[in-house]
Structure 1
Amino acid sequence: MKKARNKESQIVKILKEFKNGIDTNNLCRKYGMPKATFNNWRNKYSRIKTHQLQRIKELEEENRKLRKMYADISIDNAILKDYVVMLKNLIGACRT
């Protein structure tokens, strides 16, 4: 499990193995992941069904995209505001 992002089905599979009695150390060794990652998954997803987990991942991805869009739009807005100020200064300089 060296990938940065694990598929929802794989997370659920690993958590099911844990619920079926496989030791945390063995699971982490089997899938090559740190205990901290497993514990985070267990805390976050232990009571969630596969379809709910998929929906959560979709919403997290949508949230990430929207945050990026907001950041891009904020930058564009700041640039446009600076441009308006510059134009006002130029127009003011031409009138005098």
Structure 2
Amino acid sequence: MTKRRKRHTPEEIVRKLRDADAMLNAGRDLAAVLQALEVTEATYHRWRNQYGGMKATEAKKLRELEVENARLKKLLAEAELDKAMLKELASGNW
């Protein structure tokens, strides 16, 4: 039986990283910490690189900016596609 994936919010990630730091400072080894947090080593290192010294509010703001950036990129791609179609129609090569 496979375990279902869980998407963590930025606040949860920052909290888990803070908990991991506390456990590591208390002398627990990394494997035990990862098992307690229920994440893989790759996930832990990815989170550490992305959310390392952030507070929960900063992580939430980062996620909101990433979503907004993705939305704007999609709008730009659609506008460029429309522009290319209009150029094609204007050139009369259809």
Root mean square deviation of aligned Cα: 2.1
Structure number, greater radius of gyration? 1
Q: TM-score, normalised by structure 1?
A: 0.76
User: Unpaired segments of 5 or more residues in structure 2?
Assistant: none
Higher relative contact order (CA 8 A, sep 6+): 2
| Residue range with higher mean Cα deviation, 55-64 or 38-47 | 38-47
What is the letter of the counterpart of residue 19 of structure 1?
A: D
2:12 matches 1:10: yes
Q: Which runs of 4+ in 1 moved over 3 A?
A: none
User: Unpaired segments of 5 or more residues in structure 1?
Assistant: 91-96
Name the SS for the 1:12 alignment partner: helix
Aligned-residue identity in percent = 30
Give the drift of 1:43: 1.9
Q: TM-score, normalised by structure 2?
A: 0.78
Question: How many residues are matched?
Answer: 87
Larger helix percent: 1
Deviation readout 1:28-61 (Å, 9 max, x if unpaired): 3344432111101112212111111111111111
**Equivalent of 1:79, from 73, 80, 85?**
85
Cα distance change of structure 1 residues 68 and 27 upon mapping to structure 2, 3 Å threshold: farther
